[in-house]
Amino acid sequence: MQILQAPKRYPQADLPPVFPNGWYPVLESRELKVKQVKRVDVLGLELVAFRTEDGVAHLFDAYCPHLGAHLGAMGRVVDGCIECPFHGWRFDAKDGVCTHVPYAAKVPDFVRAKKWTSVELMGNVFLWYHADNEEPSWTIEDVPQVTSGSLKPWKRYEETLSCHIRDLAENESDLTHFSYFHGPNVLISPEEFANNAGTSAWGTFFTHVWTAKWSTDEHRCCVDINAKIRVLGRYPLFLYNVTYLRLQGPALLVVRSETAFGNQLTVCAVTPLGPFRIRVVHTIYYEPGANLLFRFLAGIIYCKSVSTSEQEGGRDLADSLQSLLKCIQEHIFVIDTAENVRCPKFCSA
């Protein structure tokens, strides 16, 4: 796992709400075991996540409605309920209703812990957030191969950024940014780009040419990008990339890339930890038909793309190259012959 830090900066005037209405990934599924209770502080909220015996994840307000004890401080899961560590009051995971008080003959069933609407998909627990407490007006479109586990994660990157969540969405559809910043050789260092904007011989050895088209609906933006890679000014037919970006609401981006070497799927989960403090987790999956050389090279390129310093990028690059050499020594660069799993295209072009 790689954690990257970006310096804090952002203008404060004339900004839209820092927490737009929508679904937010607040916790990765792997972080929450059965009967585990975990503190979650996101979106200016103090919450607890817990997983009941049936494997279902739940999100509650952190504080017990009895006397305000924090349920994440030694709270536990008992018989489908979360139990407060201070007085043993239990609240049903389904609706937050109090079901048990150990020292009382009559249970005050009018007392409820606040339960938040949540759903678990694509390796994340999502929270529905609305400034006016309205019920969900749309649902997340799933990628069943990821949710079911038939596609296994290959690489994970985590970044913490100082920005408005809107900036991330706008960046994904900024084709002029792609052409200028991501056009030159992706393996050049930040110092070289700062010196010559990628116009050196090494910077132009590999170049990318981008074309795109967009479509939108009420809560989703679709961007289909065709990327060709030029080597020494020519277009090798086998170096192409067709990418489908599907932004659902303010905080979930699913990217599917088709290449001659195999197909890659990336789930980008965006979590506002606070105003202008955003956690971004990229999880990369490969379909079984993708050969291992492509996986390693794509991993190297991706780590360079998301790194915010040469030191961090170089370290990850060295690790990837070391793994690559090991695989070459073991002669395992073969194409996986397992049945290809096709991921859906999330909306029409």
Give the pLDDT band (50/70/90) at residue 37: very high
At 187 the three-state DSSP class reads coil
Give the pLDDT band (50/70/90) at residue 25: very high
List beta partners, residue 262. 259
Q: How many residues does the chain have?
A: 349
Question: 303 pLDDT exceeds 60?
Answer: no
Beginning with the edge strand found earlier in the chain, give each strand of the sheet holding 153-161 in spatial order.
Answer: 2-5, 153-161, 277-286, 262-274, 252-259, 240-248, 220-231, 206-216
Per-residue pLDDT of 39-51, as tens digits, reads: 999 999 999 999 9
List beta partners, residue 246. 222, 254
Contact call for residues 23 and 251 (beta carbons, < 8 A): yes
Question: 9 pLDDT exceeds 70?
Answer: no
Q: Which one is predicted more confidently, 155 or 178?
A: 155
Q: Which of 2, 17, 44, 13 is nearest to 250 (CA)?
A: 17
Q: Record the tokens describing residue 270, joined without a space.
A: 């965006």
Q: Cα(59)–Cα(49) distance, rounded to whole angstroms? A: 5
Contact call for residues 98 and 112 (beta carbons, < 8 A): yes
| Amino acid identity, position 217 | D
pLDDT of residue 270: 95
CA angle 20, 44, 40 (to 5 degrees): 110
Q: Could you tell me the fold of the domain covering 29-129?
A: Rieske Iron-sulfur Protein (2.102.10)
Domain boundaries, the chain: 29-129, 144-329
pLDDT of residue 61: 97
pLDDT of residue 240: 66
Q: How far is CA 286 from CA 92, 225, 247, 331, 345, in A?
A: 39, 19, 20, 20, 15
- Listed ranges 22-26, 177-181, 282-286, 326-330; the one with the highest mean pLDDT: 22-26
Contact call for residues 60 and 83 (beta carbons, < 8 A): no
Contact call for residues 173 and 314 (beta carbons, < 8 A): no
Q: Helix H segments across the chain?
A: 144-147, 165-172, 175-181, 190-196, 292-306, 310-329
pLDDT of residue 5: 55
Per-residue pLDDT of 173-187, as tens digits, reads: 666 776 777 777 666
CATH architecture of 144-329: 2-Layer Sandwich (3.30)
Q: How far is CA 30 from CA 21, 23, 57, 89, 123, in A?
A: 26, 19, 11, 28, 7
Q: Which of 157, 128, 158 is nearest to 43 (CA)?
A: 128
- The helix (run of H) or strand (run of E) holding residue 268 is strand 262-274
Mean pLDDT check: name the lowest of 18-22, 148-152, 326-330. Answer: 326-330
Mean pLDDT check: name the lowest of 148-157, 184-193, 263-272, 324-333. Answer: 324-333
Q: Which residue has the tokens 């997983």?
A: 51
Put simply, whether the predicted model's pTM sits higher than 0.85 gets the answer: no
Per-residue pLDDT of 206-244, as tens digits, reads: 787 777 788 887 888 888 888 777 887 777 756 667 778
Q: Cα(189)–Cα(288) distance, rounded to whole angstroms? A: 32
Question: 119 pLDDT exceeds 90?
Answer: yes
pLDDT of residue 168: 79
